[in-house]
Amino acid sequence: MNFAMFSGLNASKFPEREFLIESYPSRNYRRCATWKEYNGQANRIANYLMKKCGVKHGDIVLHLMMNSIEWHASFTGILKTGATVTPLNYRFATNDIQYAADVTKCRVFIFDEQFIPRITPLIKEMDYCKYFICLGENVPEGMISYREILESESCDEVCVETADDDTAELMFTSGTTGAPKPVAQSHKNLFFTGVGNGLSLNDGYYSVYLAPHPFYHSGSLFHSFPSYIAAGKILMPMEFKPEFYIRSLAEEKCTGGFNTVPIWSDLLNAIKEGKINLNDYDLSELKHIELGAQPVPHVLLEESKKIFPKIKFGITYGLTEGGGGFTAISYDENILEKPGSIGKATAFMEIKVVDYEGRETPPMVIGEVLLKGPRLMKEYAFNPEITAKTIVDGWLRTGDLAYKDKDGFIFFTDRAKDLIIRGGENIFPVEIEDFFRRHPKIRDVAVMGFPHPRLVEIVFAVIETKEGQAMTEEEVTDFCKNSGLAKYKWPEKIVFAPVPRNPSGKIEKPKLRDVYVKPAREALDAELNKKS
């Protein structure tokens, strides 16, 4: 099975039905592609890659574009050739792009013109890459125009047959814990991810699925697969100011979708502050919203249910290696009665929590989360050693810490590598971050360990206040004292600064550690060396 087959199938059955929508409310403009137009564009790209570039089954094509109709159509066009598509993070710097190119030894590179300054310095070093295809009005000499391909190439149907376990996609992890690793997803993985998401959330033909986040990440892309498989629609809001975002949802009759905490929080805050009047928008088609990619503050769920009582909310859990989000979900009926839970495994999937010796833990005992099912990645490409350590007896070791309650609901506690050990006491940053997000002045917070000569680590908090607000360390301490946070969990070092997040919504703690923790650790080591 080639996962690209659904493009041709849906185009043959529903040629004039809309599939992809770009929404620009500030300009009163929308751009859309029907299934016929979408499949035609994918075929033109596929035919060009095969006939002119010699792309064949097993080759790798790099892909660096912003969300757009062209992003999705070229992604499918690459799959149609039997090659492996590798979508890159649009925030990658030149060095990151070179790293990905060197790892994959790509034959072709397709990209938006805005990335030319990052790619041009690499061309001479990328002797394995024979063709550079650029989407835009100003295509440099020596590169191939994407638009000219669409104007001149045949749209004859093409879809090279592939085995279920052939690699369809390499998706580089977000790199919050080190160098990004290429996660290999097979055609079967993508299929079961799409079907599993559809079954778990009732998405498919009637869906107008909300896809606000970058497609290079497994969030919006994988979550929207039910619409791709079953001929539904995918809505790409191109403007994220709350007043424009809610217009996209209303005007396109969005039925549901996945949001990260920052985007959804911004919308709720605009409503609470009176900047948005819900009576001005018809959201009657909006049935469900899932939140994830990071721990979801309980207060955000409470506010969401108060403001949107008819919408079903869910908390999702997942990782790229496990087939993206929706590996587990806490449904609407559980989110308030099981605060903090990420729920249970979704369709086709199994989850267990184990101790350091691989034995399942009893209820309420913290262990590592393991995943099993047909969504799991095929491998870390080109790295059998790490793959063998990560997938053991069919179970994927996530590195995430959690526990199950007596009813089998899973409660995420933290990443194993983020655990703070203060004088022998285990402290989970996520718990403290969730605690602080209840404060009315705090917009975001990141908690991590900070070196200490006696305790080894103490709690360090980077706090970002809401616009127009200011805080003092005394206010932070008073909040901890008056709101019941155990004293050993109180931050002993505090910085008021922006909290960086990557496009998938994850806090970029390595950046914060480089700025604040690394110098302190080096100074402490130097001091200890003097004394020794």
pLDDT, tens digit, 9 for 90 and up, residues 56-65: 999 999 999 9
- Going by pLDDT thresholds of 50, 70 and 90, the confidence category of residue 436 is very high
In the predicted model, what is the mean pLDDT of residues 293-308? 86
pLDDT at residue 175 is higher than 50: no
Closest by CA to 170, choosing from 121, 100, 65, 117, is 100
445/453 Cα distance (integer angstroms): 25
Q: What is the pLDDT of residue 178?
A: 54
- Per the CB < 8 A criterion, the answer to whether 73 and 41 are in contact is yes
**What are the residues whose beta carbons fall under 8 Å from the beta carbon of 523, sequence distance 6 or more?**
none
Using alpha carbons only, give the angle 125, 126, 130 rounded to the nearest 5 degrees.
Answer: 140
- Per the CB < 8 A criterion, the answer to whether 170 and 182 are in contact is yes
Q: The domain at 419-531 falls in which architecture? A: 2-Layer Sandwich (3.30)
- Per the CB < 8 A criterion, the answer to whether 226 and 203 are in contact is yes
In the predicted model, what is the mean pLDDT of residues 300-324? 93
- Going by pLDDT thresholds of 50, 70 and 90, the confidence category of residue 174 is low
Q: What is the pLDDT of residue 177?
A: 46
Least confident among 18-27, 52-61, 444-453 = 444-453
In the predicted model, what is the mean pLDDT of residues 394-406? 93
Classified as helix, coil or strand, 300 is helix
Residues of the chain with CATH 3.40.50.12780: 5-404
Q: Mean of the per-residue pLDDT values for the chain?
A: 93
245/215 Cα distance (integer angstroms): 18
Q: How far apart are the first and last CA of the chain?
A: 64
228/463 Cα distance (integer angstroms): 40
- Going by pLDDT thresholds of 50, 70 and 90, the confidence category of residue 531 is low
pLDDT at residue 455 is higher than 50: yes
Least confident among 108-117, 252-261, 408-417, 440-449 = 408-417
- Per the CB < 8 A criterion, the answer to whether 65 and 236 are in contact is no
pLDDT at residue 454 is higher than 80: no
pLDDT at residue 179 is higher than 70: no
In the predicted model, what is the mean pLDDT of residues 44-68? 97
pLDDT at residue 87 is higher than 60: yes
DSSP annotation of 514: I
Q: What is the pLDDT of residue 354?
A: 96
The count of other CB atoms within 10 Å of the CB of residue 95 is: 10
The count of other CB atoms within 10 Å of the CB of residue 483 is: 11
The count of other CB atoms within 10 Å of the CB of residue 303 is: 17
100/80 Cα distance (integer angstroms): 22
The secondary element (H helix, E strand) that includes residue 314 is strand 312-319
**Residue 425 φ/ψ, nearest 5 degrees:** -90, 130
Rounded to whole angstroms, what are the CA distances from 462 to 436, 458, 494?
Answer: 11, 13, 6
The count of other CB atoms within 10 Å of the CB of residue 51 is: 12
- Per the CB < 8 A criterion, the answer to whether 368 and 353 are in contact is yes
For domain 5-404, the CATH class is: alpha beta
- Per the CB < 8 A criterion, the answer to whether 218 and 171 are in contact is yes
- Going by pLDDT thresholds of 50, 70 and 90, the confidence category of residue 176 is very low
440/450 Cα distance (integer angstroms): 26
Closest by CA to 362, choosing from 411, 404, 414, is 404
Q: Which two tokens stand for residue 387?
A: 């793959």
Closest by CA to 265, choosing from 230, 307, 300, is 300
- Per the CB < 8 A criterion, the answer to whether 113 and 135 are in contact is yes
345/350 Cα distance (integer angstroms): 6
Q: What is the pLDDT of residue 487?
A: 86
Q: How many separate helices (H) and strands (E) can be counted in the chain?
A: 18, 27
Evaluate if pTM is beyond 0.95: no
- Going by pLDDT thresholds of 50, 70 and 90, the confidence category of residue 71 is very high
257/220 Cα distance (integer angstroms): 8
Write out the DSSP string of 116-165: HHHHGGGTTT-TT--EEEEESS-PPTTSEEHHHHHHHS----------TT
- Per the CB < 8 A criterion, the answer to whether 341 and 329 are in contact is no
- Going by pLDDT thresholds of 50, 70 and 90, the confidence category of residue 267 is very high
Residues of the chain with CATH 3.30.300.30: 419-531
99/106 Cα distance (integer angstroms): 11
pLDDT at residue 54 is higher than 50: yes
Instruction: State the pairing for strand pair 233-237/208-210.
Output: parallel
133/121 Cα distance (integer angstroms): 16
Classified as helix, coil or strand, 329 is strand
Q: What is the pLDDT of residue 367?
A: 93
Using the structure block, give the residue that is written with the tokens 């010699």: 54
**Residue 263 φ/ψ, nearest 5 degrees:** -65, -45
pLDDT at residue 86 is higher than 60: yes
Classified as helix, coil or strand, 333 is helix
pLDDT at residue 229 is higher than 80: yes
- Per the CB < 8 A criterion, the answer to whether 173 and 383 are in contact is no
Sign of CA dihedral 50, 56, 57, 60: negative
Q: What is the pLDDT of residue 528?
A: 62
In the predicted model, what is the mean pLDDT of residues 16-26? 98
- The larger pLDDT score, comparing residue 292 to residue 394, is at 394
Q: What is the pLDDT of residue 59?
A: 98
In the predicted model, what is the mean pLDDT of residues 377-385? 96
How many CA atoms does the CB half-sphere of 19 hold within 13 Å?
31
